[in-house]
Amino acid sequence: MEDFLQMVASGVVIGGIYALIAMGFVVIYKATGVINFATGELMMLGAFFCFTGMTAAKFPFAAALLAAAMGAAALGALVERVVLRPLMGKATISVIMVTIGLSSIFKGAAQLVWSGDYRAFPPIFPRAPVRLGSVVLPSLQFYPFLIALASCALIALLFRFTRTGTAMRATADDPLAAFSMGIDIRRVFSLSWSLAAVTAALSGVVIGTMGGISPQLGAIGLKVFPVVILGGLDSIGGALLGGFLMGILENLAGGYLDPLVGGGIKEVAPFLVLVAILMVRPYGLFGTREIERL
Amino acid sequence: MRIGDYKETYAADEAIFRTPAVRVWMGALGATMLVFPFVAGDYLLYLANLIGVMIIGALGLNILTGFTGQISLGHAVFVGVGSYAAAIGATRLGLPFYLCIPLGGAAACVAGTVIGVPSLRVKGLYLAIATLSAQVILEWVFSNWDSVTGGIRGINVPPATLSGVSLNTDFRVYFLIYAVTAAFTYFARNLFRTRVGRAFIAIRDRDISAELMGINLFRYKILSFMVSSFYAGVAGAVWVYFAKVVTPEYFPLSLSIQFLAIVIVGGLGSIQGTILGAIFMTLVPELLKAGTEAVKPFFPDAMSYLFPLRDILFGALIVGFLIFEPHGLAEMWQRVKRYFALWPFRS
Amino acid sequence: MRRRKWIVAATGITAALALAAAGALAADDVIKIGACQPITGRFAFAGVSINAGLQDYINYANENGLVKGKKLVYIYEDTGYDTDKAVATFKKIMAKDNPVIMYGDSTGLGKAIAPELNSRYKVLYGSTSFSSELADPKIHPYSFVSGPTYSDQFGILLEYIAKNHKGKGNPKVAFFYSDTEFGKDPIPYARKRAKELGIDVVSEIVTKVGAVDVTTEALALKKTQPDFCIFQGYVLAPIPQVIRTVRDYGLKTTFMGTFWSMDKSIIDKLGADAEGYMGVSPYAYYNEDAPGIQSMRKYNEKANPKEKSRPNSYIQGWFTGMVYVEAINKVLAAKKPVTGDNLKDAIGMIRDWDTGGVTGKVTFVNNKAAVGRVYRANVVKGIFEPVSDWIYVK
């Protein structure tokens, strides 16, 4: 039982991180209908920005994190303006491929600037693990989890209570109606991409503190797909819940099924779940059913 | 622009090679390709073989994505299924290559059906995500199903033998690869003169209208996916006789993305474009390599920048073509032809 | 028009002359060594060092005239640690420069190129790989392993465990490896050897390389409480996380690694948690005082004064260079032409070769030189210290 609780607790912790990544992804999808395959690479760049802030500019962690977020926001806006704006209205495959092309460019650029070496953040958090009853949470998981949780909360509040957030939600629901109400759609698109880049950067830093940074860090971005399918492609609440559920599920699968299958099932389980969901309930827990109107 | 070009029969009108000029050029192309292996160096032959395999795979993807409008992100693992099926056929069942290649295609076709059936029921991007899952899951299966796939070690495959002659050099395999490539290109070109092909195009253009006209969307989408997977499987099987070893490392997500890049850069919905795209995307990294070697005396470290530069160039090509030349190389080629055809008038 | 014809003709003649001159230079006094190195990609930091080590030793050999009357030329290209690209690079170098010796970046390349290496290329082939498969002279007659195979290394560690285990009952060991060729290679042999030595393998844990969350794996260790846990198939990640998490759970397991997990940088990354980390290395470390290592340091002081320390991957490259030169010299001493076939036979003739302490006395049997030493981390000094003598595996 103790093991089960441990696995669930760790699953919640990593799930929080998945939730943060998924939120950024859903923000873009909701606002612009674009599936962003460059999520992983944006995470990787965010982690590198923060790392450079701490090592080259010698900022303390909080300042470096803020700098990384600002850098990511600028990058997101730039990407939207230069690459996505020309493709507005074109076929979906084009937009998907453009994000894939971007991810390739980011990966190459990161390798040029920071070399392929694997880096570790300088020690940021206290070394001692956190104990909750019988459950032990390593410090390198717990504190990043807090950061992820805080970020998710911040974004949710942003959407709910600020004018900008309302504008973004309105645009996501019905761009034409929002436009006719006087909302500057282009600015909203820009903001959505900036926000997505910022969430990616934050989650990248979190993953970086847990496992180190390298240009290959982006590979974990693929995990966002099972999460958003589970939660619903266009639901932010779904992204949150989906993230936590996926984290717990992954850990339980790893803990109970690994001995049977010979290992590595943690990577595959989320995708098996994804296929199952596609078969049973394609729109996920909270996604809206797409109704095609002629 | 063709003048004096009139047809007297329907067959003549529907023919693939319509004018004498086209037939002559095709003949010249065929002759060049027959002569090529005799004059090309080792490394060029290797590249040519690689391009041939990529053409077959990319044609399959173009049928699915360019002609039917469905996005697949898992093409590489279907190639993988074909490879493994052919390898198992060759090593464990002792089948000759002309049976193993269709076997690879059939195995991939079955895999495609299994993935396609649940995900094609729902419109939208779900096929893309389902094929992405297939990519991850099948890659895992390749590495872990030791008893069938040989796990991490993979399977070593003996070279194909044709009436006693072993196709164990790049020179000999070239003929096998290009025979298959030519056949499958011809088939693809033919496909779009038939009812089935036109149904695919209708689905891509406006699927609601297609449905209203009586085309069973689900059935034709599945058919398209099956054909596409068959091509992928054949590409994998042919590749096995080229590389003579199959391991799980050969079918990562980046290969799926490479196929997509070929199809997009070449031109969605154009057979010619796929061929141009395959040649282009395989040769561009080589040019880059030659470039870095040329600047080595000035920048001794240039070599270590090659691969990151390659990634950047790859991404930039995709982004560039999508923004500036959405119809790909095929369109550029048509423009060039038009310019010469209409010269000295402006096109 | 006429001028253009002259320009074309002049260019053609110059080109022809240049080619002829180049051809004349590429005479018998040059021995070419080609290499496919993983300078970028997943193995990048090791690849850069391996390349530096091999290149440096070749320069060192040329400077000190270690091969009488011949100059060694080193040609290398990046493979990005991708088997497809590695094969292409191999063929390209062979086609362009036709070296007699090649170096490969991975086990994958070694296996993929084997059929053509044996039938067509026939060059001496060394590589980064310590895979036991490459050490099979029947399938890979032209390859050799620069030291003990992973199976041999596991054997050395298991013997050390059997000998030094304190406490009641059989020692309990866990195998923690990655789901790659690199990770799985020695495991079947390791299971067999453990049984022979009376060691209980209480769990086998497999992960993807670079896994981020290792909770379930650490829990599996917590459940089985092994005395020792051996890593295989990782260079750095996720070893630090696993060790840290397991210590958080209060386990006192001793962690061990094989060659690629035994670089000094692990001590730096782990900090205090590196206490007790052990492993096997076929080579001495850069900070040791063996004469062979001292010449390595002296060379670097002159050629690369900025590098204060070199990782063990550098020594792998350097040592492989030493093997190449030793093989070349044996062939030349027997007055035979320097071809791949003669070189591979020469490897088999290397017996009790004194490498100046870079490693133990080298004898190649079945394409490998199964000798290594057990080291333990000294956290205070930040280095690995030997806790055993050179062990020769039969």
DSSP states along B129-163: HHHHHHHHHHHHHHHH-HHHH-TTT-EE-PPPEET
- Lookup result for tokens 């504008």: A167
CA distance C196 to C198: 6
Question: Percentage of residues in chain A with pLDDT exceeding 70?
Answer: 97
DSSP states along C156-222: HHHHHHHHH--SSSS-EEEEEEESSHHHHTTHHHHHHHHHHHT-EEEEEEEE-TT-S--HHHHHHHH
Q: Judge whether residue B39 has pLDDT over 80.
A: yes
Q: Judge whether residue C19 has pLDDT over 60.
A: no
ω into B344 cis (within 30 of 0) = yes
| Best A105, A117, A258, A277 residue to mutate vs chain B (most B CBs within 10 Å) | A105
What is the Cα Rg of chain C in Å? 23
Q: Judge whether residue C1 has pLDDT over 80.
A: no
Average of per-residue pLDDT values in chain B: 88
Compute the CA torsion angle B197, B202, B208, B210 (nearest 10 deg): -60
Residues 6 or more apart from A284 whose CB is under 8 A from it? A228, A229, A230, A231, A232, A233, A235, A238, A242, A277
Q: What is the pLDDT of residue C14?
A: 52
Identify whether the C-beta of residue C248 lies closer than 8 Å to the C-beta of residue C362.
no
Identify whether the C-beta of residue A272 lies closer than 8 Å to the C-beta of residue B137.
yes
Q: What are phi and psi of C271, to 5 degrees?
A: 65, -130
Q: Judge whether residue C357 has pLDDT over 70.
A: yes
Residues 6 or more apart from B133 whose CB is under 8 A from it? A225, A226, A271, A272, A274, A275, A278, B74
Q: What is the pLDDT of residue C21?
A: 43
Identify whether the C-beta of residue B238 lies closer than 8 Å to the C-beta of residue B55.
no
Question: CB distance from A94 to chain B under 8 Å?
Answer: yes
Q: What are phi and psi of C101, to 5 degrees?
A: -130, 140
Pairing of strands C278-281, C228-232: unpaired
Q: Judge whether residue A59 has pLDDT over 50.
A: yes
Higher pLDDT, C167 or C21: C167
Contact A263 C216 (CB under 8 A): no
Average pLDDT, integer, range B281-290? 86
Q: Which residues of C touch A (CB under 8 A)?
A: 40-42, 44-45, 179, 204-208, 210-213, 215-217, 219-220, 223, 236-238, 240-241, 244-245, 248-250, 269, 271
Average pLDDT, integer, range C52-66? 92
Residues 6 or more apart from B65 whose CB is under 8 A from it? A93, B71, B72, B260, B263, B268
Q: What is the pLDDT of residue C26?
A: 47
Average pLDDT, integer, range B147-153? 80
Among A155-159, A171-175, B333-337, which is the least confidently predicted range?
Answer: A171-175
Q: Judge whether residue A228 has pLDDT over 70.
A: yes
Question: CB distance from B27 to chain A under 8 Å?
Answer: no
Average pLDDT, integer, range C90-119? 88
Identify whether the C-beta of residue C300 lies closer than 8 Å to the C-beta of residue C276.
no
pLDDT band at B85 (very low <50, low <70, confident <90, very high): very high
Q: Chain B residue with minimal CA distance to C36?
A: B303
Average of per-residue pLDDT values in chain C: 85
pLDDT band at C22 (very low <50, low <70, confident <90, very high): very low
Helix, coil or strand: residue C274? helix
pLDDT band at A87 (very low <50, low <70, confident <90, very high): confident
Which residues on chain B are in Cβ contact (under 8 Å) with C84? 250
CA distance C61 to C325: 8
Question: CB distance from A157 to chain B under 8 Å?
Answer: no
Q: Judge whether residue C219 has pLDDT over 50.
A: yes
Question: CB distance from C205 to chain B under 8 Å?
Answer: no
Average pLDDT, integer, range B237-265? 89
Q: What is the ipTM of this complex?
A: 0.87
Average pLDDT, integer, range C329-333? 92
Q: What is the pLDDT of residue C303?
A: 86
pLDDT band at C6 (very low <50, low <70, confident <90, very high): low
CA distance A224 to A242: 10
Q: Judge whether residue C27 has pLDDT over 90.
A: no
Identify whether the C-beta of residue C206 lies closer than 8 Å to the C-beta of residue C179.
yes
Element containing residue B245 per DSSP (H, E): strand B245-246
Instruction: Count CB atoms within 10 A of the CB of residue C162.
Output: 17
Average pLDDT, integer, range B95-119? 90
In whole angstroms, what separates CA B18 from the centre of its chain? 25
Identify whether the C-beta of residue C290 lies closer than 8 Å to the C-beta of residue C356.
yes
Contact C207 A129 (CB under 8 A): no
Q: What is the pLDDT of residue C209?
A: 72
Identify whether the C-beta of residue B79 lies closer than 8 Å to the C-beta of residue B255.
yes
Q: Judge whether residue B152 has pLDDT over 80.
A: no
Q: Judge whether residue A185 has pLDDT over 70.
A: yes
CA distance C317 to C323: 10
pLDDT band at B248 (very low <50, low <70, confident <90, very high): confident
Dihedral sign (CA C247, A149, A189, A282): positive
Contact B244 C83 (CB under 8 A): no
CA distance A209 to C239: 14
Comparing CB atoms, the residue among A3, A251, A266 nearest residue C223 is A3
Q: Judge whether residue C215 has pLDDT over 50.
A: yes
Outline where DSSP puts E strands in chain C: 30-37, 71-78, 101-104, 124-127, 172-178, 200-207, 228-232, 254-257, 278-281, 371-378, 383-386, 391-392
Helix, coil or strand: residue C231? strand
Q: Judge whether residue C18 has pLDDT over 60.
A: no
DSSP states along B117-135: HHHTTS-STHHHHHHHHHH
pLDDT band at B347 (very low <50, low <70, confident <90, very high): low
Higher pLDDT, C203 or B121: C203
CA distances from C80 to A88, A101, A266, B309 (A): 35, 19, 27, 12
Higher pLDDT, C167 or B194: B194
Question: Percentage of residues in chain A with pLDDT exceeding 90?
Answer: 17
pLDDT band at C20 (very low <50, low <70, confident <90, very high): very low
Q: What is the pLDDT of residue B273?
A: 93
Tokens coding C169: 């009952």
pTM of the model: 0.86
pLDDT band at A255 (very low <50, low <70, confident <90, very high): confident
Q: What is the pLDDT of residue C2?
A: 56
Residue-wise pLDDT tens digits, B204-246: 988 889 999 999 999 999 999 999 999 999 999 999 998 888 8
Comparing CB atoms, the residue among C44, C212, C236 nearest residue A220 is C212
Q: Is A284 left (phi over 0), alpha (psi -120 to 50) or beta?
A: left
Q: What is the pLDDT of residue C25?
A: 44
Among A143-152, C84-93, C161-170, C210-219, which is the least confidently predicted range?
Answer: C210-219
Which residues on chain B are in Cβ contact (under 8 Å) with A294? 208
Dihedral sign (CA A206, A209, A210, A214): positive
Average pLDDT, integer, range B57-79? 93
Element containing residue B196 per DSSP (H, E): helix B195-205
Q: What is the pLDDT of residue C3?
A: 56
Q: What is the pLDDT of residue C7?
A: 53
Helix, coil or strand: residue A291? coil
Q: What is the pLDDT of residue A294?
A: 63
Distance from the B194 Cα atom to the nearest Cα atom in chain A, whole angstroms: 25
Residue-wise pLDDT tens digits, C231-283: 998 887 788 888 888 888 888 899 999 998 888 888 888 888 888 899 999 99
Contact C206 A14 (CB under 8 A): no
Average pLDDT, integer, range C328-357? 90
CA distance C243 to A243: 27
Comparing CB atoms, the residue among C42, C219, C220 nearest residue A216 is C42
Q: What is the pLDDT of residue A2?
A: 74
Q: What is the pLDDT of residue C234?
A: 85
Is residue C175 exposed (0-12), middle (13-18) or buried (19+ Cβ within 10 Å)? buried
Residue-wise pLDDT tens digits, A133-159: 777 787 777 888 888 888 888 888 888
Q: What is the pLDDT of residue A157?
A: 87
DSSP state of C360: S
